[in-house]
Structure 1
Amino acid sequence: MPKRVDHEERRRHIAGALLRIAEERGLQHASMREVATAAGVSLRLVQYYFHTKDELLLGALGYLAEELGERVRARLLALGGPPPPREFVAETLLAVLPLDADGVRLARTWAAFYSLVLAEPELTRHGATHPDRLEHLLATQLRAAGRPEPELAAAALLALTNGLTSSVLGGQRDGDAAVAVLRHHLDLVFGRE
Structure 2
Amino acid sequence: MRDEKEQAVCPICGTRLVLAKRGRPAVYCSRSCQARAYRRRKQHLPSPGAPPAPVPAPARASGTRERQRRRIAEALWHIAAEHGLHAASMRRIADGAGVSLRVVQYHFDSKHALLVDALRLLHEENERLARARVPADTTDPRALLRAVLLEFLPLDEQRAHALKVFAAYYARSLTDPALAAVFLTADQPLERFVADIVETGRAAGMTAQGLDPQHEADLLVSGVTGLGLDVVHERRSLADVRAVLDYHITRVFPPRSVAPA
Q: How does 1:21-60 map to 2 (within 5 A)?
A: 21-60=79-118
Which of 121, 139, 147 is equivalent to 1:91? Answer: 147
Deviations 1:72-126 (A, max 9, x none): 212212xx61332211111011111012222211211211111111232431214
Unaligned stretches of 5+ residues in structure 1: none
The structure 2 residue matched to 1:138, chosen from 194, 197, 210, is 194
The one-letter amino acid paired with 2:160 is: V
Q: Which moved more, 1:135-144 or 1:146-155?
A: 146-155
Residues 163, 131 of structure 1: CA spacing in aligned structure 2 closer, same or farther, 3 A cutoff? Answer: farther
Per residue, is there more helix in 1 or in 2? 1
Q: CA deviation at 1:2?
A: 5.7
Aligned position for 1:109:
165
- Separation in 2 of the partners of 1:130 and 1:33? 32
Name the count of aligned residue pairs.
Answer: 191
The alignment's TM-score, normalised by the length of structure 2, stands at 0.67
How far the C-alpha of 1:9 sits from its partner, in A, is 2.1
Q: Which moves more between the two structures, 154-163 or 102-111?
A: 102-111
State the 4+ residue runs in structure 1 displaced beyond 6 angstroms: none
Change (3 A) 1:23 1:131: farther
In the alignment, the residues of structure 2 paired with residue 41 and residue 121 of structure 1 have an alpha-carbon distance, to the nearest angstrom, of 29
Pairing 1:176–2:239 present: yes
Secondary structure, aligned partner of 2:174:
helix
TM-score scaled to structure 1, two decimals? 0.89
1:157 aligns with 2:220: yes
Cα RMSD, aligned residues only:
2.2
CA contact (8 A) 1:168 1:175 kept: yes
SS for the counterpart of 2:86 is: coil
Unpaired runs of 5+ residues, structure 2, are 1-54, 257-261
* Inter-partner Cα distance in structure 1 for 2:164 and 2:237: 15
Larger RCO (CA within 8 A; separation ≥ 6): 1
Are the counterparts in 1 of residues 94 and 100 from structure 2 also a CA contact under 8 Å? yes
One-letter identity of the residue aligned with 1:186: I
2:121 paired with 1:63? yes
**Identity of matched residues, %:** 37
